[in-house]
Structure formats: structure tokens, C-alpha cells
């Protein structure tokens, strides 16, 4: 990590493709935590295998939800200040390296979670810690986007990053399936004894993330700290943060409105991934083995959507891409309310995924275009905080409608409500100013 620090003026210069590729490799590697640990492999192992014989009335699923909820609270409280301090110290890259390394270490720790309910607590603690460290790493990573793009191609660069994450998930899931999950005895003798095949997946995923997190640390230069950046302690950082928020609301309140709107529709997007696999099995008759294959196909479609939408983002602006994507998600979700069977789920589930990637990618570029130079870390910290602040909403509504109608399918209505609320909140928000226009100066 010897690249010299650069000032804000440098970030509009043409960026070598190798630098953009190195940045995107972190997204590729992050699939190890998102796709493997959180979504398709380790979380199901933790709740269905490790916690299968858990005594008491509270299920392993509930304990996992509470563990991640506590982690979300920590992220909501600390993320914006962590991003702010990385900006002010000129150590955004060091922050990314630190949090990425800690995430990889947490994933290594999952190897010791055996298939016995007495190990559930270790798994819950590590899953919560991993969520915190990964989110903090993502704050610094997202804040780098203007260091690897120009105002004319930021949408394509963001779409490239998201697609790399999806494609990385495809490759890693296939490797894990072929090497550890499908065979009677996987690589390195990994079988069912002690849940070894799943524990080996955690080790493999940790190595995958660690390897692909390295290139960005050498190729993307550090941004020097603003010369007027105040040097304050941790507690004083909160006073500075609230003062900045007041100034931001007075000078450009539409940025604040966007943070609120994006928190809503991003919660809906997260719920699609969280409950999609559950609904596939319990409502549409997809086998548990085929869910992983569907996950691979879903990542392909989402990646293609993100790549294509990146070009429209640069031409028409991120707001139009997000609006079209949300409308597509809402219409497709309504269709899924009334269809049945595996074939219908494959068709409309993949159509749903086509709109998820563009909404995620353009939401990132929207905020990047709004962020004052030198304060990207703080802004993406707020992005993480607002997202966590309402992260209970879609799961709570999913559970509410499932309970009211005594039908798992009705949970889709809860997700629809959140997506509609996000679209309604986004509609009056003013799009980012022309990409060529200078961003407002950071407050001294």
C-alpha cells in the first residue's frame, strides 16, 4: 500500500482500467460474506443444523434475527462517525484494509461452529461481528467510487462493481457446491461429521475474500485529508456530525430526503434476498438443492441488469434508473402473489432479479454524485446508518402479513408495501445536479 495520496482535484482525471478492475475485485470477493455466509450456505447451516435441537421456545432463526439486529444497531450508531474519521484523517484505504481483514478473521472463526446447539452462541456472535466489520469495510469501499471514476462514467463503474459482486457470487457458490456441498465427501475430506463441509466452506470463503480484497489496497491511491479537516476526539466527532447534518439539511435538504427514501427501498431489496429462498421452498415448491442453483441464475441476471443499467445511469441519471427498477419490482411482485409452481417462480423470480441490481447500483451512484468532495466516507456512513435504521420494517411487515393471513405467500405484501413507500418517498426528491457541475464545498 505505497500509492501516494492524492488531493480531491485528482479524482476527475481519467482512471486506468486496471485501477477500476482492482476496485471491482473487492466487490467480487465480498460475495464470500454476502452470498455464502449470510444468504445461501452458512446461515441455513447455523439455523437448520446447528440450532436444530435448541432447547426452549425461541428458535434459532429468532436468535439469528436478534443477533443481526444488535449488529445493525451498532452499525447505525457508529458507521457515519467511522466514515467521517477516515475522511478527516486521510486513511480511507487503511480503514478498508482493517475492516476487511477483521471480516476475514471472523469468517475463519466460523470454522469452530460445530453441528451442536451448544455452538450456536459462538456462531451468532461471529455472525453479528461479521455484519459489523463488513458494513464498516463497505462504507470505505463505497466512498472510493469517485476515486475510480469520472462524472461521465460513474454509473458504469458502479454497475461494473455490482456485477463483479454478482459474478463473484456465481463462481464461489458453484465452487462450494461442487467441492464441498454436493459430494458425499468433499475436498479435504469434508463430510457431514461435525458439520465439517459447511465449516470448510467458511474457511474457503474467508480465503477468497482475503485474496480479492488486496488489489484495491495497492491500485487505488489514498485521498489526502482536507487541510481544514478538524482533528477531534471520538465523542466530539458526533457533535461535528450533527453540525454537518444541520448544514446539509439547510444547504441541500434533498440529499437528506434521498437518504430517507433509499433506506426504505433498500430495505425492500434486502427483504427480497432474505425471504426469496424461504418462499421458493415453502410456497413455490423449489427443492432445497435447486435453491442454490436458482441463486446462481439470480446472480447472473442481477449482474447483467447492473451492467446494462450503468450505461443508462450515465445518460439519464440515477433517479430514472431507480424509479424504473422499483416499478418493475412492484409489478413483478404483484404477479408472484398470484402464480404458483416452480416454473412460475423461476420465470418471475428471475425477472425480479433483473431489477434488483440496477436499483442497488444506481442508489450508490446517486449518493456519490451528491456527496461533497472529501466527505464521501461520512456520507456513505450515513447511507449505512439510515439503511439500518429502518431495516426492521420489511421483515416485520413480512411477518405481520404472514400472521394475519396465515399464509407464507402473503408476506410478499409486506415487501410490496416497503417498495411502494420507497418509490413514493423518492418521487419528489430532486435528481443530482448535472454531473459536470461542481459539488458543494465541504464545511470547514
pLDDT given at position 10: 40
pLDDT given at position 11: 43
On the question of pLDDT at 106 being above 90, the answer is yes
pLDDT given at position 91: 72
Q: Return the C-alpha cell found at 288.
A: 432445497
pTM of the model: 0.76
Residues in Cβ contact with 83 at an 8 Å cutoff, skipping those fewer than 6 apart: 139, 140, 143, 376, 377, 378, 379, 380, 381, 382, 384
**Collapsed DSSP state (helix, strand, coil) of residue 7:** coil
On the question of pLDDT at 269 being above 60, the answer is yes
| Of 441, 428, 398, nearest in space to 268 by CA | 398
Residue 166 contacts residue 306 (beta carbons within 8 Å): yes
On the question of pLDDT at 212 being above 80, the answer is yes
Q: Return the C-alpha cell found at 361.
A: 447500483
**Collapsed DSSP state (helix, strand, coil) of residue 6:** strand
More confident residue, 357 or 229: 357
**Residue 55: exposure state from Cβ atoms within 10 A (0-12, 13-18, ≥19):** exposed
Hey, what's the torsion of the CAs at 9, 10, 15, 18, to 10 degrees?
Answer: -140
Residue-averaged pLDDT of the chain: 81
pLDDT given at position 335: 94
Range scoring the smallest mean pLDDT among 209-213, 365-369, 374-378: 374-378
CA angle 344, 175, 128 (to 5 degrees): 85
pLDDT given at position 213: 95
Instruction: Give residue 9's pLDDT band: very low, low, confident or very high (50, 70, 90).
Output: very low
pLDDT given at position 229: 54
Per residue in 15-34, pLDDT tens?
788 899 999 999 999 989 98
pLDDT given at position 201: 94
pLDDT given at position 272: 82
Residues 374 and 439: their CA atoms lie apart, in Å, by 11
Residue 363 contacts residue 431 (beta carbons within 8 Å): no
Residues 384 and 72: their CA atoms lie apart, in Å, by 9
On the question of pLDDT at 41 being above 80, the answer is yes
Residues 384 and 139: their CA atoms lie apart, in Å, by 7
On the question of pLDDT at 70 being above 90, the answer is no
For 373, the enclosing helix (H) or strand (E) is none
pLDDT given at position 231: 57
More confident residue, 219 or 403: 219
The share of the chain scoring above pLDDT 90, in percent, equals 27
Architecture category of domain 15-221+246-426 in CATH: Up-down Bundle (1.20)
pLDDT given at position 230: 56
Q: Return the C-alpha cell found at 123.
A: 456462531
Residues in Cβ contact with 13 at an 8 Å cutoff, skipping those fewer than 6 apart: 150
Q: Return the C-alpha cell found at 301.
A: 441476471
On the question of pLDDT at 300 being above 60, the answer is yes
pLDDT given at position 309: 84
Residues in Cβ contact with 407 at an 8 Å cutoff, skipping those fewer than 6 apart: none
Q: Return the C-alpha cell found at 130.
A: 461479521
**Residue 86: exposure state from Cβ atoms within 10 A (0-12, 13-18, ≥19):** buried
Residue 124 contacts residue 113 (beta carbons within 8 Å): no
Phi, psi at 407, each rounded to 5°: -155, 125
| Other CB atoms within 10 A of residue 235 CB | 8
Residues 303 and 309: their CA atoms lie apart, in Å, by 10
Domain-by-domain residue ranges, the chain? Answer: 15-221+246-426
> Please, what's the b/e burial string for 113-140 (b: 16 or more CB within 10 A of its CB; e: otherwise)?
bbbebebbebbbbbbbbbbbbbbbbbbb
**Residue 436: exposure state from Cβ atoms within 10 A (0-12, 13-18, ≥19):** exposed
According to DSSP, the residues that pair with 6 across neighbouring strands are: 223
On the question of pLDDT at 100 being above 90, the answer is yes
Per residue in 401-413, pLDDT tens?
877 887 778 888 9
More confident residue, 139 or 103: 103
Q: Rounded to an integer, what is the distance from CA 82 to the centroid of its chain?
A: 17
Per residue in 389-442, pLDDT tens?
676 677 778 777 877 887 778 888 988 998 999 999 999 988 876 433 333 333
Per residue in 188-204, pLDDT tens?
888 888 889 999 999 99
Amino acid at each position: 500500500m505505497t500509492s501516494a495520496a492524492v488531493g480531491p482535484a485528482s479524482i476527475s482525471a481519467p482512471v486506468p482500467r486496471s485501477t477500476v478492475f482492482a476496485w471491482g475485485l473487492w466487490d467480487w470477493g465480498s460475495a464470500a460474506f454476502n452470498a455464502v455466509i449470510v444468504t445461501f450456505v452458512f446461515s441455513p447451516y447455523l439455523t437448520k443444523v446447528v440450532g436444530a435441537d435448541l432447547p426452549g421456545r425461541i428458535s434459532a432463526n429468532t436468535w439469528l434475527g436478534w443477533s443481526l439486529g444488535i449488529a445493525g444497531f451498532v452499525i447505525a450508531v457508529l458507521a457515519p462517525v467511522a466514515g467521517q474519521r477516515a475522511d478527516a484523517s486521510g486513511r480511507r484505504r487503511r480503514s478498508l484494509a482493517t475492516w476487511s481483514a477483521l471480516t476475514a478473521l471472523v469468517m475463519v472463526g466460523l470454522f469452530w461452529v460445530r453441528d451442536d446447539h451448544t455452538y450456536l452462541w459462538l456462531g451468532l456472535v461471529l455472525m453479528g461481528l461479521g455484519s459489523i466489520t463488513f458494513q464498516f469495510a463497505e462504507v470505505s469501499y463505497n466512498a472510493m467510487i469517485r476515486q475510480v471514476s469520472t462524472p461521465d462514467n460513474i454509473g458504469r463503474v458502479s454497475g461494473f462493481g455490482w456485477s463483479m459482486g454478482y459474478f463473484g457470487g456465481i463462481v464461489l457458490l458453484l465452487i462450494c457446491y461442487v467441492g464441498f456441498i454436493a459430494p458425499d465427501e468433499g475436498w479435504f475430506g469434508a463430510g457431514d461429521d461435525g458439520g465439517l463441509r459447511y465449516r470448510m466452506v467458511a474457511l474457503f470463503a474467508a480465503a477468497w475474500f482475503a485474496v480479492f480484497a488486496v488489489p484495491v489496497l495497492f491500485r487505488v491511491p489514498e485521498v489526502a485529508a482536507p487541510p481544514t479537516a478538524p482533528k477531534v476526539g471520538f465523542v466530539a466527532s458526533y457533535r461535528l456530525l450533527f453540525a454537518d447534518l444541520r448544514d446539509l439539511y439547510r444547504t441541500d435538504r434533498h440529499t437528506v430526503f434521498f437518504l430517507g427514501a433509499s433506506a426504505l427501498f433498500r430495505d425492500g431489496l434486502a427483504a427480497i434476498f432474505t425471504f426469496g429462498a424461504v418462499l421458493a421452498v415453502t410456497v413455490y415448491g423449489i427443492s432445497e438443492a435447486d435453491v442454490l442453483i436458482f441463486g446462481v441464475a439470480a446472480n447472473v441476471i442481477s449482474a447483467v441488469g447492473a451492467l446494462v443499467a450503468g450505461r443508462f445511469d450515465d445518460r439519464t441519471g440515477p433517479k430514472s434508473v431507480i424509479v424504473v427498477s422499483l416499478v418493475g419490482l412492484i409489478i413483478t411482485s404483484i404477479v408472484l402473489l398470484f402464480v404458483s409452481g416452480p416454473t412460475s417462480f423461476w420465470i418471475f423470480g428471475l425477472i425480479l432479479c433483473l431489477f434488483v441490481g440496477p436499483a442497488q447500483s444506481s442508489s450508490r451512484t446517486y449518493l456519490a454524485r451528491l456527496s461533497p468532495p472529501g466527505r464521501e466516507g461520512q456520507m456513505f456512513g450515513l447511507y449505512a446508518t439510515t439503511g439500518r435504521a429502518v431495516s426492521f420494517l420489511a421483515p416485520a411487515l413480512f411477518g405481520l402479513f404472514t400472521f394475519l393471513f396465515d399464509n407464507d405467500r402473503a408476506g410478499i405484501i409486506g415487501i410490496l408495501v416497503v417498495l411502494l413507500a420507497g418509490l413514493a418517498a423518492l418521487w419528489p426528491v430532486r435528481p443530482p445536479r448535472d454531473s459536470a457541475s461542481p459539488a458543494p464545498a465541504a464545511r470547514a
